[in-house]
Amino acid sequence: MAHPHLSAALFAISLAGTPSPTQLNSSAAASVTLTTSGGIAVITPLVLPSVQVSPGSSDTSFTTETPAAGTGSGSVSSNARLTVVRDNGEAVSVDVPQSFDVIRTGGGETLTVNTVTTGDLASNGDAMLVGGSAASVDIGGKLALASANHLVPGPYSGLLVVVVQYN
Amino acid sequence: MNLRTLLAATAAAGAALALAGAANASQTVATPTAQASVTLVTPASLTVPHGLAFGTIALPSTTGTNTVSMASDSAATQATIGGTGSAFIVNSSGAGAAHFVLTATSGEHFTLASSLSAMSSGSNSLANAKALDPVVASGASNSSGTYTLTANKADIYVGGQFDVSDTTAVGTYTGTLTLTVTYD
């Protein structure tokens, strides 16, 4: 026969040993990015690769992100990538120039870069944006280089101006 | 070990002592046995596979206020926008309610509560930021707000909401969403 006091003690031990905690808490991050209702964000600039032109070689060219033969080692090129923010259904046109000039730093020599535009643009060529509220436009560069042109080595830079019109 | 088993073990120990006394007198050896038992339970834990993310929202361009909400739903992949302003969703990549995983022993009862701290970006804070009621997507049944685990794991989702207007500052706002599980 169990002693009354012993039974009470065992019951108390059993309660103390209950494995589940009374309360569990855990926290998670909450985040949101707020932006203006219209605008253009430059995600990446247009970066042309370093190019080596060997004497006597034929024309060397590259297009968009992947440099073609004749580029220097270690250079990283990229398309210009723009994100255009607009309300859903808002008509927006994007005007990208066919070409633009880059000028040698410290000199006056110029090279002409032809643009290659892809992304969320209407297929009929009217430069109207398609896609959602954040349309993406990629602009690549293309130019032909030849050793016969007596190119002056050095860094070249220029300004690519893209006009986005909210109609 | 439950109460009944403990009492039985105590009685067995008492019998063993009595037998030992008899052994001293008669020089015989007894080897008593007693049953042993144990109940293993799942350690309770609460983990967070992912947080609450609203994505990128464009602010209203004119007067008016919008309430941006993310439902407490496993299937919610983008916020909803209500109100009189012209805010809209720019990007919903990675957006969704916070996901919590409660690991415990099937059959346990518990209640849930959620809270959201101020969502701030520098010195700016979002108006009326709050957590929505948690929703258990699987692993537990619900009876008037008291849940019972039907498995050793339950998936819980918690959404939230806040207000924006044309005077809200742009930026990335962050806060802390807390889920509290209280056992009955």
ipTM of this complex: 0.77
Decide if A14 and B2 are in contact by the 8 Å CB cutoff: yes
Would you state the pLDDT for residue A75? Answer: 59
Residues from chain A that touch B87, judged by Cβ atoms under 8 A, are 37
**Which chain B residue has its CA at the smallest distance from A38's CA?**
B58
Interacting residues of B43 by C-beta distance below 8 A, sequence separation 6+: A19, B103
Would you state the pLDDT for residue A60? Answer: 55
In 3D space, the residue among B181, B72, B52 whose CA is nearest the CA of residue B126 turns out to be B52
Q: What is the mean pLDDT of chain A?
A: 74
**Do A19 and B41 touch, CB atoms closer than 8 A?**
yes
In 3D space, the residue among A139, A147, A144 whose CA is nearest the CA of residue A164 turns out to be A139
Decide if B6 and A14 are in contact by the 8 Å CB cutoff: yes
CA distance B28 to B12: 19
Would you state the pLDDT for residue A38? Answer: 76
In 3D space, the residue among A116, A117, A120 whose CA is nearest the CA of residue A133 turns out to be A120
In 3D space, the residue among B83, B177, B54, B175 whose CA is nearest the CA of residue B125 turns out to be B175
Q: pLDDT per residue over A98-154, tens digit each?
A: 999 999 998 888 888 888 888 888 877 778 888 777 888 888 888 777 655 667 888
CA angle, A37 then A39 then A40, to 5°? 145
Greater model confidence, A88 or B15: A88
Residue A56 confidence class, pLDDT cut points 50, 70, 90: low
Q: Which segments in chain B show pLDDT lower than 50? A: 1-25
Phi first, then psi: give them for residue B8, nearest 5 degrees: -65, -40
Block residue for tokens 């090129």: A77
DSSP state of A131: S
Taking the model in full, what pTM does it have? Answer: 0.62
Q: Which of A31, A82, A90, A136 to mutate to test the interface with B (most CBs of B within 10 A)?
A: A31
Query: Residue A116 pairs with which residues in a beta bridge?
Result: A140
DSSP state of A4: H
Q: pLDDT per residue over B54-99, tens digit each?
A: 999 999 888 889 999 999 999 999 999 999 998 988 889 899 999 9
What the block records as the tokens of B78 is 């983008």
Residues from chain B that touch A135, judged by Cβ atoms under 8 A, are none
The residues in B 20-39 lying below 8 A from A, measured between CB atoms, are none
